[in-house]
Structure 1
Amino acid sequence: MTSAADPAITQGRGAPAAAAATTRDIRLDFFRGLAMFIILCAHTPDNFFTSWIPARFGFSDATEIFVFCSGMASAIAFGRSFDRAGWRIGTGRVAFRVWQVYWAHLGMFFVIAAMLSAFDQFGTFETTYIGTLNLWKFFEDPGPLLVGLFTLTYVPNYFDILPMYLVILAMMPLMMALSRLGLWAVAGAVGLIWIFAQGALLEQFGLGALHLAFPAEPWSDREWFFNPFGWQLIFFTGFAFMRGWLPKPPVNTALVVVSAVIVIAMIPLSHIGMREIFGPYAPGIREAVIEWRIANRGLFFKSDFGILRYVHFLALAYLCWVAAGDGGARLRAVGTGVLVRAWETLLAMILKVGQQSLAVFVFSMVFARFSGFVMDQVGRTTWTMTLANLVGFTALIVVAYSVAWFKSQPWRGAPR
């Protein structure tokens, strides 16, 4: 991790903390950019590209990449405000970002809902598109659910990542305040909150009533698919690494081997393991794997962020971190050939997507539903789906560069 000379917050009453990072690591933008492309694939209906995303080979997926890297980016973007201007101003900076994410969430919902409704209103199709996201009740009686939408007590599936993210952001001032007592206080709070988010674990001990979660809809007991009280663990892990609260792990053969063993050992328990490894060749083992997954669902339950997801992600992240090299040195090609220039161009585009992740994410969620609609009309073949994905990737890159251009405010100081 990079470090700088900004004044660090105190670990205790007088003990200086490790230096906090103030510049972006190329690896941060690279892997968050990759996550954006994976998220587009994962949300495009019936997309065969999803057979090759990380989630098919283990318990963690692009969501962990996005949340972990967001924690790292937040340590840079918001940590400086806390360090330089104090807790009150830092909290105000976080509140402004929460405000932005809140309106991005609402805007994304209304755009997608209007688009799906337009498909149903102005075309005759076999599919009722508002039903593909289970928005029946919203269109049947929008009044109460508009209130629920704005108060985040109505959070339909597909629209639950940004609410999770903004709640975790809102927890940041608390963690920064606790860090003044000591890093043990931050670790204790993060760990305790995560434990009380584990519904399956609490049920085993008869403590299900203590489960920390938010209701997702007023007519059932369904909760937010992404429970922020569970997912804050991976966010604040990334935050702690970039703040210097956690030391960067050493690069050695032992850790590489252990991480590789963890990643490989979890493949047989994954979707690919069930379908491709044991399915055709060992149906008996496949049934045993399915039974194990059912009995131990809480260990890798995505909503509450089960512990095996955390272990799998950290092992995979360590391998990627080592492979990328110190400061991402191995990501940068050396030379002057055509392939080198092509890779540098591709790398620049991936980094740009990673730097503009919020706008790219919102656009990708809209584009994924539109792309799915188009594929319904033209038919899904290997070539049409490949083309749809490539068009989507290109669109994400265009959006990233466009947003960066607007953020640069080129009209300021432009000659008349």
Structure 2
Amino acid sequence: MRDTVSAVPAELTAPLAPERDLRLDVLRGLALVTIYINHVPGTVFERFTSRNFGFSDAAEAFVVMSGIAAGLAYSAQFRKPALWPAVARVWGRAWTLYLVHVTITFMAIAIAAGAAQYFGLYGMIQRNNLAPLFRNPLEVLVGLPTLGHQIGYFNILPLYITLLLATPLIFPLALRAPWLLIAGSVCLWALAGQFRLNLPAYPNPGGWFFNPLSWQLIFIIGLCTGIAMRDGRRLVPVRAGLVWACGLFLLFVLAWMKLPAVGSGGRAVLGQLRDWGLPFYLTGFDKTFVSLPRLLHVLALFYLLSAVPLVRKVCASGVMQPLALMGRHALPVFALGSVLCILMQAFKLGLPPSMGLDVAVIAGGLLAQWALARTRDWSAAHRRRLAQ
């Protein structure tokens, strides 16, 4: 899975008050759009998604936002003397995500199998890590519900489930000593990279594509940020020097991605650092272990977005409300988009390539996701009116 998405606590799917900060919902909605486009490979629109302009992509962005959402949603309850209700609430959310993950995974398998069986599109069962299922069905059918086997484009929810299961263990420290927690998280990230620690895959060899031992760092930074937001403060204060440093770093990364001379020079420097003995997770672009360039890029991006007042104004504008709507209902929108992306991959495989087909599969899928979010918003408003 190249890009991904994570789910949102149910408490954040309620209709928004006018004064609410819409940045989280808008950015989450934008990430959903990006994810869907990237998960239907080969369209012309893929060239314009975020991964073409920086080291990180929507996966890192969504894990940060998932941590922020968890901090906002759960921190108040974890401050109460009785901890079990808070723990049960988080683990209940993890169970919901597990059920969604298993359901959409088997829906995707059914779409791929149907495309092969009824339309002769046998390429659909050879991609996205589906081939092992048809070669070795008994073991893979054990691996799928136990999360050891994850098909392509469906491996972000297992990461988020794992992180939520661990959240009650880290919340007390996040509330009392966030920077100590972040320091420990950095150490775990470094250990995972240095010794290539990962959760095992099954039945295939290797580990998870999104390694929870590495990705926990992004989530924990987001969690501590969300807790600070809930308290009406910032985890990292706005400092002009830091804003400029992040902005210049993002411009440098953009030049790296778009100017061959800058990119080749940067890769030469990283290659020299590797020759001097620096490990891959500091000098590479590995996604499984969230290498340092990817990590720095997503953190710089989110700090800048949070520090520039114009971002808040843009996100509150009317033109951004469709994205905010999708972001408020991120879990069902993501689930539908995940299933649709497999269906649209079948259309791309079975039909001659054309600009019209690209427009149809992308616009049609995004419209369906927006319509689902709009329906859920209307239903929630209708239930509230009936309750009054």
Q: Given the superposition, is the C-alpha separation of residues 248 and 214 from structure 1 closer, same or farther in structure 2, using an over 3 Å criterion?
A: closer
Correspondent of 1:256 among 237, 243, 258? 243
Correspondent of 1:153 among 127, 148, 156? 148
Match of 1:353 in 2: 326
CA distance in 2, matches of 1:297, 1:159: 26
Gaps of at least 5 residues in structure 2 are 1-18
Match of 1:303 in 2: 288
Say which is worse superposed, 106-115 or 148-157, in terms of deviation.
148-157
CA distance in 1, matches of 2:72, 2:267: 46
Q: Given the superposition, is the C-alpha separation of residues 170 and 264 from structure 1 closer, same or farther in structure 2, using an over 3 Å criterion?
A: same
Gaps of at least 5 residues in structure 1 are 1-22, 203-207, 334-343
Say which is worse superposed, 309-318 or 77-86, in terms of deviation.
77-86
CA distance in 1, matches of 2:327, 2:201: 29
- Report how many aligned residue pairs link the two structures: 362
What's the C-alpha RMSD, in Å, of the aligned pairs? 3.0
* One-letter amino acid of the structure 2 residue matched with residue 171 of structure 1: A
Match of 1:399 in 2: 372
TM-score by length of 2: 0.83
CA distance in 2, matches of 1:361, 1:265: 32
Match of 1:340 in 2: none
Identity level (%): 28
Instruction: Quote how far apart the aligned CAs of 1:53 are.
Output: 1.6
Instruction: Quote how far apart the aligned CAs of 1:215 are.
Output: 1.4
SS at 1:410 equivalent: helix
Q: Given the superposition, is the C-alpha separation of residues 293 and 382 from structure 1 closer, same or farther in structure 2, using an over 3 Å criterion?
A: farther
Contact 2:78–2:172, Cα closer than 8 Å, also in 1: no
Q: Given the superposition, is the C-alpha separation of residues 144 and 395 from structure 1 closer, same or farther in structure 2, using an over 3 Å criterion?
A: same
CA distance in 2, matches of 1:48, 1:371: 14
Correspondent of 1:37 among 33, 36, 39? 33
SS at 1:302 equivalent: coil
Instruction: Quote how far apart the aligned CAs of 1:414 are.
Output: 7.8
Q: Given the superposition, is the C-alpha separation of residues 414 and 285 from structure 1 closer, same or farther in structure 2, using an over 3 Å criterion?
A: closer
Instruction: Quote how far apart the aligned CAs of 1:24 are.
Output: 5.8
* One-letter amino acid of the structure 1 residue matched with residue 45 of structure 2: F
Match of 2:8 in 1: none
Q: Given the superposition, is the C-alpha separation of residues 413 and 406 from structure 1 closer, same or farther in structure 2, using an over 3 Å criterion?
A: closer
Correspondent of 2:254 among 248, 263, 267? 267
Match of 1:52 in 2: 48
Instruction: Quote how far apart the aligned CAs of 1:101 are.
Output: 0.7
| Post-superposition CA distance 1:242-299 (Å, at most 9, x none) | 21188354445433321121112223544x44xxx34xxx997598489579877423
CA distance in 2, matches of 1:405, 1:293: 55
| Post-superposition CA distance 1:180-224 (Å, at most 9, x none) | 6633542243222222221xxx2xxxxx3xx4311123242x211
Q: Given the superposition, is the C-alpha separation of residues 151 and 284 from structure 1 closer, same or farther in structure 2, using an over 3 Å criterion?
A: closer
Correspondent of 2:125 among 107, 130, 142? 130
Instruction: Quote how far apart the aligned CAs of 1:82 are.
Output: 1.6
* One-letter amino acid of the structure 1 residue matched with residue 166 of structure 2: M
Match of 1:82 in 2: 78
Match of 1:167 in 2: 162
Instruction: Quote how far apart the aligned CAs of 1:350 are.
Output: 0.8
Structure possessing the higher relative contact order (Cα contacts under 8 Å, 6 or more residues apart): 2
Give 1 or 2 for the bigger CA radius of gyration: 1
